[in-house]
Amino acid sequence: MADTTVAADGVEAVLDDVVGWRRHLHRNPELSFQERETAAFVAETLAGFGTALEIERPAENSVVARLETGRPGPVVALRADIDALPIDEQSGVEFASERAGAMHACGHDAHTAMLLGAARLLTEARDRLPGGQLRFVFQAAEELPPGGARDLVAAGAVDGADLVYGCHVWTGLETGRVAAMPGPFMAAADFFTLAISGAGGHGGMPHQATDTVAIAAQVVTNLQHLVARRIDPLAPAVVTVAAFHAGDAPNVIPGRAELAGTARSFTPDVRDRLPGLIEDVVRGIASAHGAEYELEYQRGYDPVVNDERATALVRAAIAPDATAELAPIMGGDDFSAYLAKAPGCYAFVGARSEEAGAVHPHHHPCFRIDERALPVGVRLHVDVAVRALHEL
Ligand SMILES: [Zn+2]
Ligand SMILES: [Zn+2]
């Protein structure tokens, strides 16, 4: 059996720091690809753990720290994402964002702090660890395709890794519970922008104009028919139009309506068909009503598919009474970029609590986490790392 006393002895000792780091990051959120201060904070904090950690900056705004045990063994990478979202915070916490237009509304502040706590414990325990190498990967820009994982993978951050592990705090799951599911777990996340254009005109004389608002509205509703009627009901798919911008005045039909959205899927077949199906709808409706269109489709993150063996190892690190089962979710995550390089597992750490007010969905302006999830996440990072060094 792996020696799991590293976590058992240590989590309490680092918990105050972990909470402090998390709150500092929460106050000072930075958007994707702009995490200069966050990355500097991470590198500086890691440097405070002693000289055993080799700290590198292989990609902009990301930090990787290596811990060599000095003895042969597997390479185990632990990943946290560090970026925030373009949201004005309304959570009411005392350590709320001090930056207008930026908020840690997905919990990446917690991910960063938990991995820092684990890095400190594991660094302090280096001489007691099984042989091998640990890599602590603090990744920029998970929230904005093309994402920060791609650059880290290209820079070799997980080259030679025998296991890559990451976790996401989750307000869909009660605090204290953890889910690590084998197989497809998070969706492919693709994106599109659409512009409908035509002659604008007088709001009272629509027959002399091309009503881009009415046409774009038909596109939005018909895209839902696409999911309901063109895709196999047993194959998950989502098409969401989340942005719709057109017009400024009540009596002026605008010449252009701009839409943007996301398409989610699991299977390569559905993923490959969606762009064509979307364009069929857009072309048909635009043509029927005399409008022009421009559609741009961008493939985003691949689905997160957890490796069976890696997931079994992670599940063995979860206390039996804490183990939860979660159905796959249509959220996406660029953790998949690491999984294309190395076997791994992405786990979900419960952070929901009515009494802590941690009940809102991720990406909501009132989003909160239950901070009692933090020690759970630190402990799991440490246990997974020790187990993986021992067993792989
Ligand atoms: Zn998110
Ligand atoms: Zn997230």
- Tens of pLDDT, residues 192-229: 999 999 999 999 999 999 999 999 999 999 999 999 99
Residues near ligand 1 ion, CB 5 Å cutoff:
106
Both tokens assigned to 5? 């006393």
Tell me the CA–centroid distance for residue 363 and ligand 2, in Å.
Answer: 8
Q: Is the dihedral of CA 358, 362, 365, 369 positive or negative?
A: positive
Q: Which residues are catalytic?
A: 83, 142
How deeply is 58 buried, as exposed, middle or buried, from its count of CB atoms within 10 A (0-12, 13-18, 19+)?
Answer: middle
Between the CA of residue 316 and those of 82, 170, 319, what are the distances in Å?
27, 20, 8
Tell me the CA–centroid distance for residue 335 and ligand 1, in Å.
Answer: 12
Tell me the CA–centroid distance for residue 302 and ligand 1, in Å.
Answer: 15
The answer to whether 184 and 266 have CB atoms below 8 angstroms apart is yes
CA pair distance 238, 246, nearest whole angstrom: 24
* 324-375 pLDDT per residue, tens: 999 999 999 999 999 999 999 999 999 999 999 999 999 999 999 999 999 9
User: Which distant-in-sequence residues (6+ apart) come within 8 Å of 253 by Cβ?
Assistant: 200, 201, 202, 203, 206, 209, 210, 211, 212, 213, 247
How deeply is 6 buried, as exposed, middle or buried, from its count of CB atoms within 10 A (0-12, 13-18, 19+)?
Answer: buried
CA pair distance 338, 76, nearest whole angstrom: 12
Q: Which residue has the tokens 């599911």?
A: 181
Cis peptide before 146 (omega within 30 of 0): yes
CA pair distance 349, 365, nearest whole angstrom: 21
pLDDT band at 376; cut points 50, 70, 90: very high
* 287-335 pLDDT per residue, tens: 999 999 999 999 999 999 999 999 999 999 999 999 999 999 999 999 9
Both tokens assigned to 67? 């811990």
Q: Which residue has the tokens 């400190």?
A: 120
Please give the angle made by the CA atoms of 314, 114 and 170, to the nearest 5 degrees.
70
Is residue 48 pLDDT above 90, yes or no?
yes
Both tokens assigned to 137? 């990967």
Tell me the CA–centroid distance for residue 362 and ligand 1, in Å.
Answer: 6
- pLDDT, average across residues 56-61: 96
HSE, side-chain direction, 13 A CA sphere, residue 247: 19
- Nearest of 140, 135, 176 to residue 62 by alpha carbon: 140
3-state secondary structure of 53: strand
- pLDDT, average across residues 61-65: 98
3-state secondary structure of 33: coil
* 5-45 pLDDT per residue, tens: 676 678 999 999 999 999 999 999 999 999 999 999 999 99
Tell me the CA–centroid distance for residue 161 and ligand 2, in Å.
Answer: 23
Q: Write the secondary structure of 193-251 as one string of H (helix), E (strand) and C (coil).
A: EEEEECCCEECCCHHHCCCHHHHHHHHHHHHHHHHHHHCCCCCCEEEEEEEEEECCCCC
Q: What is the β-pairing status of strands 75-81 and 133-139?
A: parallel
Specify the pTM: 0.91
- DSSP label at 120? H
- pLDDT, average across residues 66-77: 97
3-state secondary structure of 260: strand
3-state secondary structure of 342: coil
Tell me the CA–centroid distance for residue 204 and ligand 2, in Å.
Answer: 46
- pLDDT, average across residues 113-135: 97
Tell me the CA–centroid distance for residue 288 and ligand 1, in Å.
Answer: 38
- Nearest of 69, 352, 304 to residue 167 by alpha carbon: 304
112 alpha carbon, closest ligand: 2
144 alpha carbon, closest ligand: 1
Tell me the CA–centroid distance for residue 363 and ligand 1, in Å.
Answer: 6
Tell me the CA–centroid distance for residue 365 and ligand 2, in Å.
Answer: 14
What percent of the chain clears pLDDT 90, i.e. is strictly above it? 97
